[in-house]
Amino acid sequence: MTSLMGSSVLVTGASRGIGKAIAVAMANAGARVALVADSDSTEVCRLITDSGGEARTYSVDVSEEVQVRKLFEAVLSDFGTVNVLVNNAGVQLEKPLLETDLSEFDWVMDTNVRGTFLMGREAIRHMIEKGVSGRVINIASDLAYLGREQFSVYCASKAAVLSLTKSWAREFAPGILVNSICPGPIDTDMLKVENMSPQWLAKESDIPLGRIGQPDEISGLAVFLAGPSSTFITGQGIGVNGGSVMP
């Protein structure tokens, strides 16, 4: 098992779903975990601490610059450093383009792109100033490659996350490794079968492995990318998608 003993990991969107699974997996690997969410992540914190791990919660809107800067001040005061950032916070919109208004476009882009940018910028700034050989792991999506009707804004936002990943990987190599995980359909609050349109459900059921994935199938890769066995991997968008995308 990958050991992250002595590392401090910051996970956004940590209160549920993929973020929760990643936070718990990082703690199980020995990391101290900063749980960042715009909702209550007390349950996740308790789950980690009851198992002997170390975690703290922070309530933050990742799209707000002032809040993000204050977050890093607090995390650095509490943990001393940030070795790994996991940019997981995200929102999803299924809506025809011609019915999508500007406020909905801004809502998706603010969280998925602006939030990733702000969190990444502050984490990388700290890593450089402190000489930390850090990792940034951005959560993108298989839809960044596939595209999907009625998901154009979401697809565009996740394609932007992939572009940020590749640019940062080049800009900050070799000291900081930056990669993306591109999940396919994963069983989370964001993706519930009862909330899926028939067209959407038909597309998901057509993937080669024939099922929706689980958050724990994402968290294992995140721990690997945060650990000592991934030192020659940067600028990659790695799919965990049941075969929905095969580059």
Q: What's the mean pLDDT in 141-155?
A: 95
Task: Say if 139 falls within a structural domain.
Answer: yes
Which listed residue (79, 145, 151, 154) is catalytic?
Answer: 154
Residue 121: pLDDT band with limits 50, 70, 90: very high
Per the domain annotation, does 143 fall within a domain? yes
How many structural domains compose the chain?
1
Residue 101 lies in a domain: yes
Burial letters for 100-135: b for 16+ Cβ neighbours within 10 Å, e otherwise?
eeeeebeebbbbbbbbbbbbbebbbebbeeeebebb
Q: What is the mean pLDDT of residues 48-63?
A: 97
List pLDDT tens digits, range 193-226. 555 666 666 666 678 998 889 999 999 999 999 9
Structural domain boundaries, residue 100: 8-239
Number of H helices, E strands in the chain: 9, 7
Confidence of residue 161 (pLDDT cuts 50, 70, 90): very high
**Judging by beta carbons within 10 Å of its beta carbon (0-12, 13-18, 19+), is residue 90 exposed, middle or buried?**
buried
Residue 38 pLDDT level (bands cut at 50, 70, 90) = confident
Angle at 82 (CA atoms; ends 175, 32), nearest 5 degrees: 130
Note whether residue 175 is domain-resident: yes
Q: Are 120 and 164 in contact (CB under 8 A)?
A: yes
pTM (predicted TM-score): 0.93
63 assigned to some structural domain: yes
In sequence order, what are the beta bridge partners of 34?
10, 56
**What's the whole-number mean pLDDT along residues 15-42?**
95
Tens digits of per-residue pLDDT, 82-111?
999 999 999 999 999 999 999 999 999 999
CATH number at residue 162: 3.40.50.720
Asked if residue 3 belongs to a domain, the reply is: no
Is 244 inside a domain boundary? no
Assess whether pLDDT exceeds 80 at residue 78.
yes
Q: Among this protein's residues, is 154 annotated catalytic? A: yes
Within a domain: 1:
no
Indicate if the pLDDT at residue 34 is higher than 70: yes
